[in-house]
Amino acid sequence: MNVLTGYIVREILKGSFVAMLVLLTLFNLFTFTDELKDLGEGSYGIKEILYYLALTSPRVFYELVPASALLGSLFILGAMGNNRELIAMRAAGLSIFGIIRAVMLAGVILVVISILVGEFVAPVTERMAQLIKVSAQNKQVLMNAKYGLWLREGKKFINIRQIEDDGNLADISIYELDDQQHLHQAMHADQAVFLGNQQWNMKNIKTSEISTQQMLASTQDSQLWKSSIAPNLLKIVVVNPNNLSLYDLANYWGRVVNPLVTFVMLLLSAPFVIGVKRGVSVGGRMMIGVVIGMGFNIIDKIVGHIGLIYNLNPPLMAFIPSLTVLALALFAVKRVQE
């Protein structure tokens, strides 16, 4: 890496991280305002809200990397253009392709950092954030362990191993203690369907009554179970798919595309800066970035919904917007080089 290339890479990274800091701060301010409506629910106070914001920040960081890369590169390259640095670099022998290559090299570093955060930090902290929030709002929560969700209701300890796609519960075990804190009853149900008004319909139930003299076993096809388990408790187990690691959930292609979007955004910034006159202000360049970013996001959402409605190939629909914009960016780069 020569001196000029290294200089561009460092400046792009600085600009992108400054843009990330601004966007992350704005996003957390909006989230903080939104969380205030739940203030005072249970023991959910300001401290818990701040913990929640801190733990959700890695996930937000991962999502904001493409936008930060676009805004940072537009700002830095625009400043270099206005200060005639790009002209001096080209006079020193650095071609337009060399400038773009330096920008993409900065993109490689950003993508590596985002993948590390998205794969190894965000999934863990997102689960912790949901656990803190829901635990503060609902006193029943004990632990979200490897073997499912554990809750307590009075003398009953409840273990839920699985939550089905329709929101019903499966593989439920309920352990009830007597006044001496001895195990009095053990119950297992294959499934529980929510009926509303804190009632569940349990199916295929096996019950064991335990005492110092004997143990009685019985079975039932169904039984009503009244429980104060709130539907939002299920958020602890069912984490939003966008926050899962690729290893956990490879079918959610939006996460796979995110690194490619970062490269596309960076590639788009170069021809806009190099092809735009020096007199364009920083605000004008930022507006270009906002329009590009918002436009791409809207198109991406539209294509994704079309894919869902018409049951089209998920990987194809996820990659189409990015590949289309990538083709346009390559065309723009070629026009600038001519």
Q: What is the pLDDT of residues 202-219, one digit of tens each?
A: 999 999 998 878 889 999
Q: What is the pLDDT of residues 219-269, one digit of tens each?
A: 999 999 888 775 555 555 555 555 555 444 444 566 678 888 888 888 877
- The whole-number pLDDT of residue 57 equals 96
Would the CA dihedral through 269, 275, 278, 283 be positive or negative?
negative
The answer to whether residues 129 and 55 touch, using CB atoms and an 8 Å cutoff, is yes
- The whole-number pLDDT of residue 133 equals 84
Q: What is the mean pLDDT of residues 109-125?
A: 92
Would the CA dihedral through 194, 199, 203, 207 be positive or negative?
positive
- The whole-number pLDDT of residue 179 equals 85
- The whole-number pLDDT of residue 138 equals 66
- The whole-number pLDDT of residue 56 equals 95
pLDDT greater than 70 at residue 293: yes
Long-range contacts, 135-139 (Cβ 8 Å, 24+): 136/41, 136/42, 136/43, 136/44, 136/45, 136/48, 137/38, 137/41, 137/42, 137/43, 137/44, 137/232, 138/42, 138/230, 138/232, 138/233, 139/42, 139/43
Tokens describing residue 295 = 């436009």
For residue 83, how many other CB atoms are within 10 A of its CB? Answer: 11
pLDDT greater than 70 at residue 305: yes
Q: Model-level pTM?
A: 0.73
Q: What is the pLDDT of residues 65-103, one digit of tens each?
A: 998 998 898 888 888 888 888 888 888 888 888 988 999
pLDDT greater than 80 at residue 158: yes
- Tokens 């979200």 correspond to 144
Strand order in the sheet with 141-145: 141-145, 148-153, 156-163, 169-177, 183-196, 199-210, 215-226
Helices (H), 216-252: none
- The whole-number pLDDT of residue 282 equals 60
